[in-house]
Copies of this chain bind each other. A is one copy, B any other.
């Protein structure tokens, strides 16, 4: 039975993404039925390797919780029906920002999420660019993959920066490691040095001076790099600081573009463009805004490659 190819399912809202992964793997999505939270596979899954796609962002039809529950119930049904191995692919994994106790009696939601996923007998999880890799690596007791998109972004920006001096900017100290990975990847793609800078919360001589841009950006092309755009305020602050410090060109990049505050920030665009991935479609932005201001990078190749290496397509 093991020589069958895996079955790929995509829940409502993630069909487009999954279809593109399937095409790369040379197969089609398997059929399922989805009536509210009641989902069931229509293709027979008994003894099969199964991959389920669902990007867990909230939209106007379903909250992130709605998508999570629907995903978990579907995985439960797959295992009950005899699926041998269920692998979940979440281009965007929710709750990544509540990953530790910062106040007394705080929740650690990344871990609760892990236990719920495990309770529904999911065998593996693949996520793109999680917010806190240390939290993620510790939360799950099933095998997980955290795919990083730095390479994709580096490849993208190498085509835009020409011969200018470039500096990779982290918009806060928590993202310093991520921006550094991007900087190195960009160096490899450009074949020359790339500088680094970061926004730092900083205080001097008894007055609070707010965040400060650390590193040299004057006369350079600055690329602000983050994992996630929520309202966009963080990027904006970093962009303004770079501008003020004399950066000549400004770009921004983030894997997950949620744009929860809508298109407002594009009224006076600060960046030449913002590169995001296709993990979350920019449904909150008007189409023309997307066309003008965003470059959307395709991550389905990353996923397809991993799935193929994962063994799922190893013998076919």
Give CA–CA (A107, B80) in the complex, Å.
8
Number of copies: 6
Cβ–Cβ < 8 Å partners of A105 in chain B: 40-42, 44-45, 77-78, 80-81
Docked Cα-Cα span, A200 to B200, in Å, equals 10
* Cα–Cα, bound, A69→B221 (Å): 43
In terms of DSSP, what is the predominant structure of the interface of chain A? mixed
Q: Which residues of B contact A215 (CB under 8 A)?
A: 202-204
Q: How far is the CA of A130 from the CA of B198 in the complex (A)?
A: 26
Kindly state the separation between the CA atoms of A150 and B238 in the bound complex, as whole angstroms.
30
Could you tell me if B72 and A69 are in contact, using CB atoms closer than 8 angstroms? no
Query: In the bound complex, do residue B165 and residue A205 qualify as a contact, i.e. CB atoms below 8 Å apart?
Result: yes
Contacts A143-B79, A180-B201 given; does A309 touch B46 at CB 8 Å: yes
Q: Does A276 have its Cβ within 8 Å of any Cβ on chain B?
A: no
Smallest CB gap from A204: residue in B: B216
B69, A65: Cβ atoms under 8 Å?
A: yes
Q: Which of A62, A76, A107 has the most CB of B within 10 A?
A: A107
Q: Which residue of B lies closest to A95 (CB)?
A: B37
Closest to A212 in B: B214
Binding site for B on A (CB under 8 A): 1-3, 37-42, 44-47, 62-63, 65-66, 68-70, 72-74, 76-82, 84, 95, 98-101, 103-112, 114-116, 118-120, 124, 132-139, 141, 143-144, 146, 165, 167, 173, 176, 180, 183, 192-198, 200-208, 212, 214-216, 309-311, 314-315
